A and B are shown apart, each in its own frame.
Chain A
């Protein structure tokens, strides 16, 4: 062994410690001795687990620089340059089987004999899989990123690789010019820094240095005539025999190994999970920080807690669709669509569900298939969703309020097999390539050709209660929409929770001005009215439209969103006779100002005004009514009432990952929730799911919890108060500050319409900054007077600066959740001296 040459001097500039770099002479299975260049980052302790990183083509061990820098020092990281690549020896042409053998040679020379974790990308992944199949006992697990072992069914090899490998072009592109080299970092994704791009081509500056790159491309099996094709196919066929955990990290914008390859691998492994990294591309391992994911993958296995399924006795055995045929008083209206002036009776609705179910089945939708339901709120939407459930298809439902771009991303990430919708929706899905390989089912086409009288007569087999039923996409306050997965059992439990919490009986009639709730009407066995409004914008619901819808079904309950209710209050000029008959008004989706609730109470004098707390992942969690809120008054945060029956809500103590400690009354912590109607988890976001769903022992029972990401506390009377989001906490030198109590205090000032409390600076020394919207709609520093009154309002909390904003950034769906992260980033720049 000796220290490597002059290029090591450059390493420090690229974030690689020169001490990691070494050359090692490895006796090869081919009988020769080859000199390898290896980045070997030692662990804190001797004998620590080894993480072996295999790069792809045309890169070198530098692609692991972020992992080398960021991975916990509990692990030793070894990242070799494959032979003929990087700073390793240039050797005669190596085919796939040689490269698999090389890995074994290297590990032997390094004296690593305990099982290793292999992290691999691009063709490094294929080599890793080959090694794992040959030496299953030497691989503890694999993390694979943007790679593949075979071309997925129904598509061809990546066209970029195909082009680069074409005879005649290969040499020109990969060897005699640096086109392939320089092109790789330019693929779509988050983009690389200039330094990273420079580092990637460091060992490949001459044509002879690029020979290995060219050979590698030539070894890609594009047709089964290829010399390595049989070897690779053999490995692909044996992946199913592996039992080690495999975690896939995918940059979804990769045009080479796109998510078709990810799902191909999902089918091949036993113990496998996928995490899609939004916005990242082929070099996701360099574009984003993957160290936390790799660490989780390794530790997840080490500390895997005993899995405890939810107790059977707590769970209703029934399914949502089974209610439909058994409705009493059959002549009643099932659903009334006020916007389209249409209604169906119960038998008519049952027939429509049954007919759609049969039609979907005939069109090829099978149990477990995903169906994107691109239908605006209407009788047909509800019928199609029930039809999907009946045949065991998974309804993928994205909120139109997300906007077209997010909607497209959501549908694309769900990888649906079928799209059902109007001609226009199908056209959009096809042209915008939301689901390029899906079957398109036109709602007004042959899907209704086979008339079936009732759900019981549908021919297709019924799904099991624990089969997936739906993937729901709703907008978070920030970031892209996440797909939330529910099973039939969970949905039915949710229906029960709603029924129990709001004492819903068959004599009730519902008007839903918040699409998700309309779906529960039939399952609750009650008539449902859809109000006339633009679903993409809840604030278009007028008082007149709501009253009309109530009149049409004789509503006793109204479910609406806060923004819709605010507009109802604004537009309530004429008398609203039908609202007077409502006994229950429920507003869900975002915090509702008490003032709005009070104004609503005036419009429907006979109603109890309820507002549940919950999220797409689990709803309802708690509930509170206006009368109680008035009695409770002000406190530290927003009061959301008591947990609903059947839902456990706890406040995590200081160490909230594995622990048993709960915060005492009055102490703030993260809100953790568990109930039978909790969703299964997130779609294709293994790491997010791992973090959000800890298995913990609380009060002697071990179960899976949902981390809400909200922080709050219990008061002495058992009311839960929400004080903000975990990611919006302000960590000052004197302790952690929650934003909502400060905002409530500032919003009580007459000049202030809306306020955001954010932190600037690093964790532990953050300063509190208050940004307010006022009637003047101006930007910039607040004047001395407002600054003083804001400081007085939040005293004794210190405030470094008070700022004005014309318009605070809010979520599109509810127009009320402030994106404090964005405000914080903006204020950090301004208060560091950046130009306004």
Chain B
């Protein structure tokens, strides 16, 4: 099977491409800069921007399937930046599938497309919501997800995945930030830290996407569906942070701020920060809500329809994380 993996410059997408290569698939990886994984004779790297429709179409030629994970993330940037990558880029991918008759598309979405700010307690994936003002990322991903799931063509199958809080060795989004802040004694938790949050160990996120790819065909149970991907082992935010800190060998001594205050601060900082700094702000409303309210899901749909079981437990994941940090010292 020949698979185009977009956004392979990120940890998750690069790892997916690498796993496909290892099991013997042909992989075309598309990313802007050098890929993060080692290739072999079955690998073909395309250095291109997802906004470049011609390059995307070219990369898709001869592929059986596409795993589309290229995206602009974070809170920095204006709406057009997000729209051109996340919406128009996805439109480019869809056009490429049509042009070259690629019959399967796995779209890597995000739980934030259905995020309402309320607790999610064992729910199945809800439909994406559009019309949000304060998160360009979630809004653009939601539009793209709707577009992908709405593409109705003969002999063309799509599935959207929403990996929830992916972490593991080498992850800079969650682990990297927590460890860096804890090391500086500036780890802050919005709310009580008692809310249960599910996460996804990186290896499970990889296997979930490969399972989705394998399960997907026109008329399959998962065709046209969306699945939250997570370990299915919710833990309190405190326990997660503590486990990450322990694995990295830094002290877990967080400060707590009230959720309402965190939301107000997030709202203010989101408006002001991009005008003065070019880095991700220290707190956003989205992060505050993620940490201050419960977020865990019904694991059954993904397990039943994708025939996927997360193989690395949280406990095992933290052991691997600790080993990785130990080797870095």
A733 in contact with B235 (CB, 8 Å): no
- In residues 739-778 of chain A, which contact B (Cβ within 8 Å)? 760-762, 764-767
B292 in contact with A833 (CB, 8 Å): yes
CB distance from B216 to the nearest CB of A (A): 23
B122 in contact with A766 (CB, 8 Å): yes
CB distance from B302 to the nearest CB of A (A): 11
A832 in contact with B294 (CB, 8 Å): yes
CB distance from A829 to the nearest CB of B (A): 10
CB distance from A36 to the nearest CB of B (A): 39
Q: Kindly state the separation between the CA atoms of A498 and B233 in the bound complex, as whole angstroms.
A: 49
A800 in contact with B194 (CB, 8 Å): no
A831 contacts the other chain (Cβ, under 8 Å)? Answer: yes
Q: Kindly state the separation between the CA atoms of A801 and B123 in the bound complex, as whole angstroms.
A: 19
User: What residues of chain A lie closer than 8 Å to B232, measured between beta carbons?
Assistant: 733
Interface stretch among B6-14, B59-67, B95-103, B236-244?
B236-244
Q: Kindly state the separation between the CA atoms of A831 and B239 in the bound complex, as whole angstroms.
A: 12
User: What residues of chain B lie closer than 8 Å to A830, measured between beta carbons?
Assistant: 192, 194
Q: Digit string of A825-836 for contact with B (CB within 8 Å is 1, else 0)?
A: 000101111111
A781 in contact with B236 (CB, 8 Å): yes
A1 contacts the other chain (Cβ, under 8 Å)? Answer: no
B119 contacts the other chain (Cβ, under 8 Å)? Answer: yes
- In residues 113-135 of chain B, which contact A (Cβ within 8 Å)? 119, 121-123
Set B195, B259, B292, B300: member contacting A831, Cβ < 8 A = B195
Q: Kindly state the separation between the CA atoms of A733 and B231 in the bound complex, as whole angstroms.
A: 13
B296 in contact with A761 (CB, 8 Å): yes
Set B119, B122, B299: member contacting A833, Cβ < 8 A = B119
User: What residues of chain A lie closer than 8 Å to B246, measured between beta carbons?
Assistant: 784
User: What residues of chain A lie closer than 8 Å to B233, measured between beta carbons?
Assistant: 798, 800
Given A781-B238, A801-B196, A830-B194, do A761 and B121 touch, yes or no (CB 8 Å)?
yes
A345 contacts the other chain (Cβ, under 8 Å)? Answer: no
Q: Kindly state the separation between the CA atoms of A784 and B238 in the bound complex, as whole angstroms.
A: 11
Q: Kindly state the separation between the CA atoms of A831 and B197 in the bound complex, as whole angstroms.
A: 9
A762 in contact with B239 (CB, 8 Å): no
- In residues 289-318 of chain B, which contact A (Cβ within 8 Å)? 292-294, 296-300
A833 in contact with B239 (CB, 8 Å): no
Q: Kindly state the separation between the CA atoms of A787 and B238 in the bound complex, as whole angstroms.
A: 13
Chain A, Cβ-Cβ closest to B118:
A832
Q: Kindly state the separation between the CA atoms of A781 and B235 in the bound complex, as whole angstroms.
A: 11
User: What residues of chain A lie closer than 8 Å to B69, measured between beta carbons?
Assistant: none
User: What residues of chain A lie closer than 8 Å to B235, measured between beta carbons?
Assistant: 800-801
Chain B, Cβ-Cβ closest to A833:
B195
Set A761, A787, A834: member contacting B122, Cβ < 8 A = A761
Set B236, B259, B300: member contacting A765, Cβ < 8 A = B300
A833 in contact with B296 (CB, 8 Å): no
- In residues 696-751 of chain A, which contact B (Cβ within 8 Å)? 733
CB distance from B239 to the nearest CB of A (A): 7
A765 in contact with B195 (CB, 8 Å): no
Chain A, Cβ-Cβ closest to B243:
A784
B234 contacts the other chain (Cβ, under 8 Å)? Answer: yes
Given A733-B300, A762-B121, do A831 and B238 touch, yes or no (CB 8 Å)?
no
Given A733-B299, A800-B235, do A833 and B192 touch, yes or no (CB 8 Å)?
yes
User: What residues of chain B lie closer than 8 Å to A765, measured between beta carbons?
Assistant: 122-123, 297-300
Chain B, Cβ-Cβ closest to A791:
B315
Q: Kindly state the separation between the CA atoms of A787 and B121 in the bound complex, as whole angstroms.
A: 22
User: What residues of chain B lie closer than 8 Å to A766, measured between beta carbons?
Assistant: 122
Chain A, Cβ-Cβ closest to B297:
A765
Given A760-B121, A787-B239, do A833 and B298 touch, yes or no (CB 8 Å)?
no
A833 in contact with B194 (CB, 8 Å): yes
Chain A, Cβ-Cβ closest to B246:
A784
B122 in contact with A762 (CB, 8 Å): yes
- In residues 153-197 of chain B, which contact A (Cβ within 8 Å)? 191-192, 194-196
Set A762, A798, A801, A834: member contacting B236, Cβ < 8 A = A801
Chain B, Cβ-Cβ closest to A830:
B194
Chain B, Cβ-Cβ closest to A763:
B122
Chain A, Cβ-Cβ closest to B238:
A781
Chain A, Cβ-Cβ closest to B234:
A800
Q: Kindly state the separation between the CA atoms of A761 and B124 in the bound complex, as whole angstroms.
A: 12
Q: How extensive is the interface on chain A, given as a class? A: 20 to 34
B236 in contact with A832 (CB, 8 Å): no
CB distance from B250 to the nearest CB of A (A): 15
Q: Digit string of B190-220 for contact with A (CB within 8 Å is 1, else 0)?
A: 0110111000000000000000000000000
CB distance from B114 to the nearest CB of A (A): 16
Q: Digit string of A515-547 for contact with B (CB within 8 Å is 1, else 0)?
A: 000000000000000000000000000000000
B294 in contact with A836 (CB, 8 Å): no
User: What residues of chain A lie closer than 8 Å to B123, measured between beta carbons?
Assistant: 762, 765
User: What residues of chain A lie closer than 8 Å to B119, measured between beta carbons?
Assistant: 832-833
B194 in contact with A836 (CB, 8 Å): yes
Q: Kindly state the separation between the CA atoms of A836 and B238 in the bound complex, as whole angstroms.
A: 14
Q: Kindly state the separation between the CA atoms of A733 and B302 in the bound complex, as whole angstroms.
A: 12
- In residues 790-832 of chain A, which contact B (Cβ within 8 Å)? 798, 800-801, 828, 830-832
Q: Kindly state the separation between the CA atoms of A828 and B122 in the bound complex, as whole angstroms.
A: 12
- In residues 241-266 of chain B, which contact A (Cβ within 8 Å)? 242, 246, 259
Chain B, Cβ-Cβ closest to A831:
B196
A836 in contact with B296 (CB, 8 Å): no
User: What residues of chain A lie closer than 8 Å to B238, measured between beta carbons?
Assistant: 781
- In residues 300-350 of chain A, which contact B (Cβ within 8 Å)? none
A781 in contact with B298 (CB, 8 Å): no
Q: Kindly state the separation between the CA atoms of A835 and B246 in the bound complex, as whole angstroms.
A: 26
User: What residues of chain B lie closer than 8 Å to A760, measured between beta carbons?
Assistant: 121, 196
Q: Kindly state the separation between the CA atoms of A186 and B79 in the bound complex, as whole angstroms.
A: 51
Chain A, Cβ-Cβ closest to B237:
A833
User: What residues of chain A lie closer than 8 Å to B299, measured between beta carbons?
Assistant: 733, 765
Chain A, Cβ-Cβ closest to B252:
A784
- A733, A767, A787, A828 — most chain B CB neighbours (10 Å): A767
Given A765-B122, A781-B194, do A833 and B234 touch, yes or no (CB 8 Å)?
no
B194 in contact with A831 (CB, 8 Å): yes
Q: Kindly state the separation between the CA atoms of A798 and B195 in the bound complex, as whole angstroms.
A: 17
Q: Kindly state the separation between the CA atoms of A831 and B235 in the bound complex, as whole angstroms.
A: 9
Given A761-B121, A784-B242, A800-B233, do A767 and B298 touch, yes or no (CB 8 Å)?
no
B234 in contact with A767 (CB, 8 Å): yes
Given A761-B122, A801-B235, do A833 and B242 touch, yes or no (CB 8 Å)?
no
Q: Kindly state the separation between the CA atoms of A836 and B300 in the bound complex, as whole angstroms.
A: 31
CB distance from B249 to the nearest CB of A (A): 15
- A733, A762, A832, A833 — most chain B CB neighbours (10 Å): A833
User: What residues of chain A lie closer than 8 Å to B239, measured between beta carbons?
Assistant: 781, 787, 801
Chain A, Cβ-Cβ closest to B233:
A798
Q: Digit string of B133-155 for contact with A (CB within 8 Å is 1, else 0)?
A: 00000000000000000000000
CB distance from A197 to the nearest CB of B (A): 25
Q: Kindly state the separation between the CA atoms of A828 and B296 in the bound complex, as whole angstroms.
A: 13
A832 in contact with B296 (CB, 8 Å): no
Given A733-B300, A765-B298, A765-B300, do A831 and B236 touch, yes or no (CB 8 Å)?
yes
Q: Kindly state the separation between the CA atoms of A733 and B303 in the bound complex, as whole angstroms.
A: 10
Q: Kindly state the separation between the CA atoms of A195 and B115 in the bound complex, as whole angstroms.
A: 26
CB distance from A17 to the nearest CB of B (A): 21
Q: Kindly state the separation between the CA atoms of A830 and B196 in the bound complex, as whole angstroms.
A: 9
Set A733, A787, A833, A835: member contacting B294, Cβ < 8 A = A833
- A801, A832, A834 — most chain B CB neighbours (10 Å): A832
Give 11 new A-B contacts, CB below 8 A, not counting A767-B296, A800-B196, A831-B195: A764-B122, A764-B300, A781-B238, A800-B235, A801-B239, A831-B196, A833-B119, A833-B192, A833-B195, A833-B293, A834-B194
Q: Which 9 A-B pairs have the closest CB atoms?
A: A765-B122, A833-B195, A761-B122, A832-B294, A832-B119, A765-B298, A831-B196, A833-B293, A762-B122
Residues of B within 8 A of A (CB): 119, 121-123, 191-192, 194-196, 232-236, 238-239, 242, 246, 259, 292-294, 296-300
Identify 19 residue pairs between A and B in the complex whose beta-carbon atoms are under 8 Å apart, listed by A's number.
A733-B300, A761-B121, A761-B122, A761-B296, A762-B121, A764-B298, A765-B300, A767-B196, A781-B194, A800-B233, A800-B234, A800-B236, A801-B196, A828-B121, A830-B194, A831-B194, A831-B195, A833-B195, A833-B293
